[in-house]
Amino acid sequence: MRIDRRTLLGGFAACFALPAIAAPPDYRIDPVAVADGIWMIHGADAPIEPGNGGAIANIAIIDTPAGTVLCDSGPSLRYGRALRMVAEKLTGKPVARVYVTHLHPDHGMGIAAFDPAIVAALPGTIDDMRRDGRGFSDAMYRMLNDWMRGTELVLPGQPIISDVEDFGGRRLRLIALSGHSAADLALVDERTGLLVGGDLLFHDRAPSTPTADLSAWRASLDRLAALDHKATIPGHGPFDPSGREAIAQTRDWLDWLEATLTEAVRSGLDMVEAGDLPIPDRFATMAAARYELQRSVSHLYPGIEARLLPRIDEPAD
Amino acid sequence: MSVKLMIRAGLALLLATSGLPASARAYPTDPLGSPMWQAHARTLFGDDPVRFDPRVRVAFPAIAENQRVFPVAVDARGIGGVVRIILFADLNPIPVAIDYRPQAAEPYLATRIKLDQRTPVRAAVQLADGQWLVSGRWIDAAGGGCSAPPVSRVKGDWAQHLGEMRGEAWPTGPGASRLRVTFRHPMDTGLVDNIPTYHLEALTVKSGGGRVLGSMEIWASVAEDPAITLLPKAGAGEPLRIEARDTNGRDYRAAVTVAKQSAPAR
């Protein structure tokens, strides 16, 4: 093959031109009414990937006399803007409050589309985002490219310090929990008894554990199970009209995960093998189960090894 | 970089890759299309015969959740007469992670490595007759596995834990065992914050009588706090000795007795 200046230049031009050819992708946002004045947007029950633009988290839209309330905001500026348009059209009222349930970018990076003064999160979540937000942002840009265009890291401007917020008579109970992360917000609409569980609750979608404290998570599930709520919007996966199934399923997975990884370390498996262990049939309805098991091995295995494998070293000379 | 310079660099690269000495061995075409295949093959295999062989099983997770700690298992038990296993990642700045000789051990190795970018991760196993069998796959990874500071350097507690070793050995059959060993070690690559290279560089597993069962050279592309799984030929109740050394000359010694009873799942 003869390489001359023109071929080379043409090649370079093609490389640079490619990204511009692709049209900016659009999010499909389909709110479904789940209770009186509450809609759920069901995120893709899949990993964050270019095909879904990172729109994997569930989002709640609540119509209140004081304006529209959003629980979580999606992964990007583009998503946040589209979400606001859809929500305001649905309720006919401007967005008055955006809650961020926890630090993860699929839930919180969409706040870039809103005035930080109306964005509220637990103080621990704001601290988490201040610490980890930049790294999450880098990872999202790497995975999602153009979907993320223009998305800046924004911190919620309103730390949540009370346990209830009243929107012109529609009262939302705010419950500060932890376990999926260091600070997890759950929320109950007093009028309908609907619980928005954030990522403390996964439903037919395997729980993810990058920042998990499993015993704190279990304690939080106890708290949620003891509530007098009706139905549940989980952080990921379909709406749970029973209000119980997502709680039970999340607990079942976490118990199985911890017991399985503990047994794997005890029986001498390495991380690759642990990530390939069979997943019980009862989790067959859970999307992304293998993917989350392998991620959890990465998050949890070295810690279990450090706890269970005995010291064997002899004193250095 | 100006266009002129880019062209010049491009031409230089073409010349460099096409102008190999006539004596250089022709290696098989890389099924992974790695830009570094020929260069690594020359360094690692020299004039030995090389072919790609799927019987060399290189197992790792579908995603690199943590580019600083990426688990890999190499299983060449389906092949007879393996004398050496090299684990490497083409596009890592430190490509080779482990060079293992299973003298009296099954040809199996599991560990965790760093990934500095999307790269092929491969194992090459050498047979007694000198030929190399190679296998592997691409894995996507966020950057920085080799060029981000180790967690224990950031926490600042690496020196308090240096030398801690944990491990256990389980019998897997008559005269066969599975050994797991972990170390606390920063495994500094030399590519971060003016911290010089500092890593475990050698590990040997011996029988109670001092016979070498397996030995390896280790590079800084092995993850911080290395964890290594091997299959030495030692039966239930037999003692094993583990001896290692790092690049500062610090020695690491540990003793493990293969358990009487096993619970391994495989």
CB distance A100 to A59 below 8 Å: no
A157 pLDDT higher than 90: yes
Q: Does the beta-carbon distance from B256 to A312 stay under 8 Å? A: yes
Tell me the residues of A at the B interface, defined by beta carbons under 8 Å apart. Answer: 3, 5, 8-9, 12, 47, 138-139, 142, 210, 264, 266-273, 275-277, 290-291, 294-295, 297-299, 302, 305-306, 309-314, 316-317
Which chain B residues in 61-100 lie under 8 Å from chain A, judged by CB atoms? 61-63, 65-66, 69, 71-73
Check whether A168 has a pLDDT greater than 70.
Answer: yes
For the residues of chain A, what is the DSSP string, one character each?
Answer: ----HHHHHHHHHHHHHHHHHSPPP-----EEEEETTEEEE---SS-S-TTTTT--S-EEEEEETTEEEEE---SSHHHHHHHHHHHHHHHSS-EEEEE--SS-HHHHGGGGGS-GGGEEE-HHHHHHHHHHHHHHHHHHHHHHGGGGTT------SEE--SSEEEETTEEEEEEEE-SSSSSEEEEEETTTTEEEEEEEEESSB----TT--HHHHHHHHHHHHTS----EEEEESS-BTTSSHHHHHHHHHHHHHHHHHHHHHHTT--HHHHHTSPPPGGGTT-BTHHHHHHHHHHHHHHHHHHHHSPB-BPPP-
pLDDT tens per residue across span B223-248: 999 999 999 999 999 999 999 999 99
Q: Chain A residues with CB inside 8 Å of B251's CB?
A: 316-317
The complex's ipTM works out to 0.88
Residue B53's φ and ψ, nearest 5 degrees, are: -145, 115
Contact residues, chain B, for A264 at CB < 8 Å: 265
Q: Is B265 part of a structural domain of the chain?
A: no
- Is B178 an 8 Å CB contact of chain A? yes
pLDDT at A316 (0 to 100): 60
Asked if A295 and B63 come within 8 Å (Cβ–Cβ), the reply is yes
Mean pLDDT of chain A: 93
Which range among A23-32, A123-132, B45-54 shows the weakest confidence by mean pLDDT? A23-32
In chain A, the residue whose alpha carbon lies closest to the alpha carbon of B117 is A142
Residues in Cβ contact with A78 at an 8 Å cutoff, skipping those fewer than 6 apart? A24, A26, A27, A53, A147, A148, A149, A150, A151
> Looking at beta carbons, which residues of chain A come within 8 Å of B182?
305-306, 309
| Contact call for B227 and A270, based on CB within 8 A | yes
Burial class for B107, CB neighbours closer than 10 Å (0-12, 13-18, 19+): buried
**CA-based nearest residue in chain B for residue A315:** B253
CATH of A25-243, one of 3.10.20.30, 3.30.70.1560, 3.60.15.10, 3.40.50.620: 3.60.15.10
CB A272 within 8 A of CB B62: no
Chain A environment of B111 (Cβ under 8 Å):
270
Residue B80 domain-assigned?
A: yes
Domain boundaries, chain A: 25-243
Facing A270 at nearest CB: one of B71, B163, B253:
B71
Instruction: Please tell me the distance in Å from A67's CA to the nearest CA on chain B.
Output: 40
Looking at the structure of chain B, the number of domains it has is 1
Instruction: Name the least confident of A8-12, A186-190, A215-219, B76-80.
Output: A8-12
Q: Cα–Cα distance between B44 and B46 in angstroms, integer?
A: 6
Average the pLDDT over each of A6-15, A123-132, A297-306 and give the range with the smallest value.
A6-15
Flag if B62 and A272 touch (Cβ within 8 Å).
Answer: no
The reply to whether B21 falls in a domain is: no
CATH number for position B219: 2.60.40.2470
Residue B14 domain flag: no
pLDDT over 90 percentage in chain B: 79
Residue B54 lies in domain = 27-257
Q: Would residue B4 count as lying in a domain?
A: no
Q: According to the model, what pLDDT value does residue B24 have?
A: 56
Residues A72-123 have pLDDT tens digits of: 999 999 999 999 999 999 999 999 999 999 999 999 999 999 999 999 999 9
The per-residue pLDDT for range B95-129, each reduced to its tens digit, is 999 999 999 999 999 999 999 999 999 999 999 99
Contact yes or no for B71 and A291 at CB 8 A:
no
pLDDT (tens digit, 9 = 90+) per residue, B138-189?
999 987 788 877 888 888 889 999 999 999 999 999 999 999 999 999 999 9
Report CA Rg, chain B: 20
Q: Is B239 on the interface with A (CB under 8 A)?
A: no
